Amino acid sequence: MTRTVFKRSQGYQEQKLMNPAREWVIGISILIGIVIVAGVFDAREYFKYNSLASEIEGKTIEIKKYRHSVAERARQSFDARLQQFNQLKSQIPTVLPPVVLTASSTATTTPEVSSETQTEADAVDTPAVTDVVSEETAPTSTLSIGE
């Protein structure tokens, strides 16, 4: 009985929790898996940011464009207008202005004098309407635009 027991006890095999070959395979597999995952991740990140500089575009800014053609047309238009203005301005009437003989409704404090009694001779002696202008502030300046 004792022999039998001892004999059988020798038959128990030690349980191998660690199998070097198996553990190496597992370890290397995990290592390769990590390397592959990391490689894929890094490759994805690389391709994601590699062409980033060319993909990114700056903000679009709205700046009013200077339209040369419009400005040129405006300048020509104003030049023509200025030329016409100067031409008209230089045409000084040579005749003496007549007295305005139309009835006026303007209220006045001076004794009423009928304008119908005035004659052409009076018109020459009487200060003309131009003097009305001359009594105002005497202007000294002239237009100097484009001149």
Binding site for another protein (CB under 8 A): 17-18, 23, 27, 30, 34, 37-38, 41-42, 45, 48-49, 52-53, 56-61, 63, 66, 68, 71-72, 74-75, 78, 81-82, 84-85, 88-89, 91-93, 95-102, 116, 119-120, 128-130, 132-134, 136-137, 139-143, 145-146
- Least Å distance between CB 111 and another protein? 21
The two three-digit tokens of residue 115, written as one number:
């304008």
The two three-digit tokens of residue 49, written as one number:
């940011």
Q: Which is nearer to another protein, 7 or 58 (CB)?
A: 58
For residue 50, give Cα distances in angstroms to 16, 24, 25, 27, 43.
Answer: 50, 37, 36, 33, 10
For residue 45, give Cα distances in angstroms to 31, 48, 50.
Answer: 21, 5, 8
Q: Which is nearer to another protein, 6 or 46 (CB)?
A: 46
- Least Å distance between CB 117 and another protein? 9
Q: Which is nearer to another protein, 4 or 141 (CB)?
A: 141
Q: Which of 135, 128, 143 is nearest to 93 (CA)?
A: 128
For residue 21, give Cα distances in angstroms to 13, 29, 30, 97.
Answer: 19, 12, 14, 129
- Least Å distance between CB 5 and another protein? 22
Q: Which is nearer to another protein, 42 or 125 (CB)?
A: 42
